Chain A
Amino acid sequence: MNAIALAPQPCTHCQLPIPAGRSGEFCCAGCEVVYAAIAKHGLERFYELREAGAPARTSERSYSELDDPAFERVHVRRVGATATAALLLEDLRCTACVWLVESAPKCLPGLLDVRLDIGRSRAEVTWDPATCKLSQIAQHLDRLGHAVHPYRGIDRDRQHRLEDRLLLSKIGVAGAALGNVMLLGIGLYAGLFQGMASGDATVFRWASMLVAVPALGYAATPFFRTAIGALRARRLHLDLPLSIGIVAGLGWGTANTVRGVGEIYFDSLSMLVFLLLVARWIVVRHQRRASTAAELLLALTPSRAHRVDPVTGAATDVPIEALVPDDVVEVRIGETIPVDGIVSRGDSAVDVGLLTGESKPIDVAFGSVVHAGTVNVVGPLEVLVTSVGEATRVGALVASIEAFASRRAPIQRLVDRIAGRFVVIVTLAAIATFVGWSMISPALGAEHAMALLVVTCPCALALATPLAVAVALGRAARRGVLIKGADALERLATPGVMFIDKTGTLTEGRLAVVSWRGDLDAAQLASSVEAGSNHPIARAFVRHAAAAPARDVREQLGHGIVGHVGTRRILVGRPAWVAAQGAVVPERWVSELAAAGETPIAIAVDGRCVAVAGLADPIRSEAASAIRRLEALGWDVRIMSGDDDRVVQVVALELGLEPQACHGGVTPEGKAAAVFAARQFGPVVMVGDGVNDAAAMAAASAGIAVSGSAEVAIEAADVYLRTPSIGAIADTAAGARETLATIRRNLRCSLAYNLLAGTLAVTGLVHPLVAAIMMPFSSATVLASSLRSRAFRSSK
Chain B
Amino acid sequence: MIAMYLVLALALGGATVAVLAFAWSVRSGQLDDVDTPPRRILLDDK
Q: Does B23 contact A (CB under 8 A)?
A: yes
Contact A95-B1, Cβ < 8 Å, known A117-B36, A169-B26, A179-B15: no
Q: A-B pairs with the 3 shortest C-beta distances?
A: A119-B35, A172-B22, A95-B39
In the bound complex, CA of A138 to CA of B25 (Å): 32
A203–B32 CB distance below 8 A: no
Can you list 5 contacts pairing A with B, beta carbon distance less than 8 Å?
Answer: A98-B40, A118-B33, A118-B35, A200-B1, A207-B12
Contact A211-B27, Cβ < 8 Å, known A116-B36, A120-B33: no
Give the residues in chain A near B36, CB-CB below 8 Å.
98, 116-119
Give the residues in chain A near B8, CB-CB below 8 Å.
203, 207
Seen from chain A, the residues whose Cβ lies within 8 Å of a Cβ on chain B are 94-95, 98-99, 102, 116-120, 161, 164-165, 168-169, 172-173, 176, 179-180, 183, 197, 200, 203, 207, 211
| Shortest Cβ gap from A281 to chain B (Å) | 11
- Contacting A at CB under 8 A, from B4-27, are 4-5, 8, 11-12, 15, 18-19, 22-23, 26-27
A172–B1 CB distance below 8 A: no
B18–A98 CB distance below 8 A: no
In the complex, besides A172-B19, A179-B15, A200-B4, 8 extra interface pairs with C-beta distance below 8 angstroms are A95-B42, A98-B36, A119-B36, A165-B31, A169-B22, A169-B27, A200-B1, A207-B8
| Shortest Cβ gap from B36 to chain A (Å) | 5
CB closest chain-A residue, reference B22: A172
In the bound complex, CA of A164 to CA of B31 (Å): 9
Cross-interface CB contact of A165 among B26, B34, B35, B39, cutoff 8 Å = B26
Contact A98-B39, Cβ < 8 Å, known A117-B33, A119-B33, A120-B33: yes
Cross-interface CB contact of A176 among B18, B29, B35, B39, cutoff 8 Å = B18
Give the residues in chain A near B23, CB-CB below 8 Å.
169, 172-173
A172–B26 CB distance below 8 A: yes
Give the residues in chain A near B4, CB-CB below 8 Å.
200
B40–A102 CB distance below 8 A: yes
Give the residues in chain A near B42, CB-CB below 8 Å.
95
| Shortest Cβ gap from A177 to chain B (Å) | 8
In the bound complex, CA of A95 to CA of B43 (Å): 8
In the bound complex, CA of A102 to CA of B40 (Å): 9
In the bound complex, CA of A95 to CA of B44 (Å): 12
Contact A161-B32, Cβ < 8 Å, known A95-B42, A176-B15, A183-B11: yes
Contact A180-B32, Cβ < 8 Å, known A169-B22, A197-B1, A200-B4: no
| Shortest Cβ gap from B17 to chain A (Å) | 10
A165–B33 CB distance below 8 A: no
In the bound complex, CA of A98 to CA of B18 (Å): 32
CB closest chain-B residue, reference A179: B15
Give the residues in chain B near A169, CB-CB below 8 Å.
22-23, 26-27
Give the residues in chain B near A116, CB-CB below 8 Å.
36
Give the residues in chain B near A161, CB-CB below 8 Å.
29, 32
Question: Which of the four size classes fits the interface of chain B?
Answer: 20 to 34
B19–A173 CB distance below 8 A: yes
In the bound complex, CA of A119 to CA of B26 (Å): 18
Cross-interface CB contact of A164 among B11, B12, B32, cutoff 8 Å = B32
Seen from chain B, the residues whose Cβ lies within 8 Å of a Cβ on chain A are 1, 4-5, 8, 11-12, 15, 18-19, 22-23, 26-27, 29, 31-36, 39-40, 42-43
B40–A168 CB distance below 8 A: no
In the bound complex, CA of A117 to CA of B31 (Å): 12
In the bound complex, CA of A180 to CA of B31 (Å): 24
Contact A180-B12, Cβ < 8 Å, known A95-B39, A118-B36, A200-B1: yes
B33–A180 CB distance below 8 A: no
| Shortest Cβ gap from A750 to chain B (Å) | 30
| Shortest Cβ gap from B4 to chain A (Å) | 7
CB closest chain-B residue, reference A120: B33
A203–B26 CB distance below 8 A: no
| Shortest Cβ gap from A202 to chain B (Å) | 12
Interface centre among B1, B8, B42 (most CB of A within 10 A): B8
Give the residues in chain B near A95, CB-CB below 8 Å.
39, 42-43
CB closest chain-A residue, reference B33: A117
In the bound complex, CA of A197 to CA of B12 (Å): 21
CB closest chain-B residue, reference A99: B43
In the bound complex, CA of A180 to CA of B17 (Å): 13
A165–B32 CB distance below 8 A: yes
| Shortest Cβ gap from A196 to chain B (Å) | 10
Give the residues in chain A near B29, CB-CB below 8 Å.
161, 165
In the bound complex, CA of A119 to CA of B34 (Å): 8
B15–A180 CB distance below 8 A: yes
CB closest chain-A residue, reference B39: A95
Give the residues in chain A near B12, CB-CB below 8 Å.
180, 207, 211
In the bound complex, CA of A655 to CA of B25 (Å): 57
In the bound complex, CA of A592 to CA of B6 (Å): 95
A168–B26 CB distance below 8 A: yes
In the bound complex, CA of A102 to CA of B43 (Å): 10
Contact A176-B1, Cβ < 8 Å, known A99-B43, A118-B36: no
| Shortest Cβ gap from B39 to chain A (Å) | 4
| Shortest Cβ gap from A97 to chain B (Å) | 9
| Shortest Cβ gap from B37 to chain A (Å) | 10
CB closest chain-A residue, reference B16: A176
In the bound complex, CA of A102 to CA of B39 (Å): 12
In the bound complex, CA of A161 to CA of B39 (Å): 22
| Shortest Cβ gap from A183 to chain B (Å) | 7
Give the residues in chain B near A173, CB-CB below 8 Å.
19, 23
Give the residues in chain A near B19, CB-CB below 8 Å.
172-173, 176
Give the residues in chain B near A197, CB-CB below 8 Å.
1
In the bound complex, CA of A168 to CA of B19 (Å): 11
In the bound complex, CA of A99 to CA of B32 (Å): 20
Give the residues in chain B near A183, CB-CB below 8 Å.
11
| Shortest Cβ gap from B30 to chain A (Å) | 10
In the bound complex, CA of A164 to CA of B27 (Å): 10
Give the residues in chain B near A117, CB-CB below 8 Å.
32-33, 35-36
Give the residues in chain A near B15, CB-CB below 8 Å.
176, 179-180, 211
Cross-interface CB contact of A118 among B5, B31, B39, cutoff 8 Å = B39
CB closest chain-B residue, reference A117: B33
Cross-interface CB contact of B11 among A94, A120, A180, A203, cutoff 8 Å = A180
In the bound complex, CA of A102 to CA of B42 (Å): 13
In the bound complex, CA of A173 to CA of B19 (Å): 6
In the bound complex, CA of A203 to CA of B1 (Å): 12
CB closest chain-B residue, reference A98: B39
In the bound complex, CA of A116 to CA of B43 (Å): 13
Give the residues in chain B near A119, CB-CB below 8 Å.
33-36
Give the residues in chain B near A200, CB-CB below 8 Å.
1, 4
Cross-interface CB contact of A98 among B26, B34, B43, cutoff 8 Å = B43
| Shortest Cβ gap from B6 to chain A (Å) | 12
In the bound complex, CA of A297 to CA of B12 (Å): 49
| Shortest Cβ gap from B20 to chain A (Å) | 10
In the bound complex, CA of A99 to CA of B43 (Å): 7
CB closest chain-A residue, reference B4: A200
Give the residues in chain A near B5, CB-CB below 8 Å.
203
CB closest chain-A residue, reference B43: A99
Give the residues in chain A near B18, CB-CB below 8 Å.
176
| Shortest Cβ gap from B19 to chain A (Å) | 5
Give the residues in chain A near B22, CB-CB below 8 Å.
169, 172, 176
| Shortest Cβ gap from A101 to chain B (Å) | 10
